[in-house]
Amino acid sequence: METEEQLKEIVRKKYAGIAMQDKATNQSSCCGAGGCSTEVYNIMTDDYTAVEGYQADADLGLGCGLPTQFARIKRGDVVIDLGSGAGNDCFVALNETGPEGKVIGIDFTPEMIDKARENAEKLGFHNVEFRQGDIEKMPVGANRADVIVSNCVLNLVPNKRAVFQEIYRVLKPGGHFSISDVVLMGELPEALQKDAELYAGCVSGAIQRNEYIGMAQEAGFLNLTVQKEKPIIIPDDILVRYLDEAALAQFKSGDTGIFSITLYGEKSVDVACAPGSGCCG
């Protein structure tokens, strides 16, 4: 099994390549990973085309939800998008926060940062910026964001607990997050769990739904709510690369489910700040 750093490097390389792919290619695979399915339909993605602020050139088809739709962004808010890719959710958030606000996108793939900056410049957006960095250690000070969003990204991070702790640190007291991600109910077959390519494709990196929500609770978030949930169906012509006929039949008849959820949580207004914790900035 790969180490955390090896998995992160696999993801970095994979998403550097995805930055150069078209949307149709990414949508017909698992978050852009692996070869295309011959059953060409959107495995993960929701349709952004009717969302105000949507910019087609910034949509690589890599999401698994519409977190900005549920994020309760207000005019003037500071919004941070984790794993911002080519800037799609940042530009949608920018429409909500308006010129009075600011949006910061964080991504650890240089090619994605370049693409997002190019899109922002082309669109003439000046109150959005893109920072290269690791969301397990964000390049942002404490208590800076009103809202944090993310779309199908935490499942790519080995240390998800650290990400939730960072989200808590960076949010202002009273701030909140809305995150779409892939989670499991039941255990994936071992071949899917261990495959690095499927890790980069959002599947084997997913954890149990209750464990995922529990990490947010442990980080200190209140009023945790699943705002949306939908099943993710992986086509047979992808699964047969990892499972033999018997294993495929067992997987499809068993109690394992792969879901996209959009999770909401709030940071308390009354935050007791421990010296040395970093939460006081």
The domain spans of the chain are 4-264
pLDDT tens for 85-140 read 999 999 999 999 999 999 999 999 899 999 999 999 999 999 999 999 999 999 99
Note the pTM of the prediction, 2 decimals.
0.84
Angle between helices 110-123 and 88-97 (to 10 degrees): 40
Rounded to an integer, the average pLDDT of 199-208 is 71
CA distance 23 to 60: 4
- Would you call 262 helix, strand, or coil by DSSP? strand
| The pLDDT of residue 92 | 95
pLDDT of 38 > 60? The answer is no
pLDDT of 180 > 60? The answer is yes
pLDDT tens for 50-98 read 788 888 778 777 778 899 999 999 999 999 999 999 999 999 999 999 9
pLDDT band at 223, cuts 50/70/90? very high
| The pLDDT of residue 128 | 97
* Closest to 11 measured CA to CA, from 142, 159, 122: 159
Domain spanning 4-264: CATH superfamily:
Vaccinia Virus protein VP39 (3.40.50.150)
Residue 24 backbone class (left: φ over 0; alpha: ψ -120 to 50; beta: rest): alpha
CA distance 139 to 121: 22
Percent share of the chain, pLDDT over 90: 48
pLDDT of 37 > 70? The answer is no
CA distance 281 to 278: 6
Mean pLDDT, the chain, integer: 83
- C-alpha 187: how far from its chain's center? 21
pLDDT of 39 > 50? The answer is no
Structural contact between residues 102 and 78, judged by C-beta atoms closer than 8 angstroms? yes
Give every CB contact of residue 76 below 8 A, 6+ residues apart in sequence. Answer: 97, 98, 100, 101
| The pLDDT of residue 164 | 98
Of 9-13, 116-120, 177-181, 184-188, give the lowest mean pLDDT range.
Answer: 9-13
Q: Which residue has the tokens 């914790």?
A: 277
211-215-216 Cα angle (round to 5): 125
Listed in sequence order, the DSSP H helices in 19-51 are: 23-27
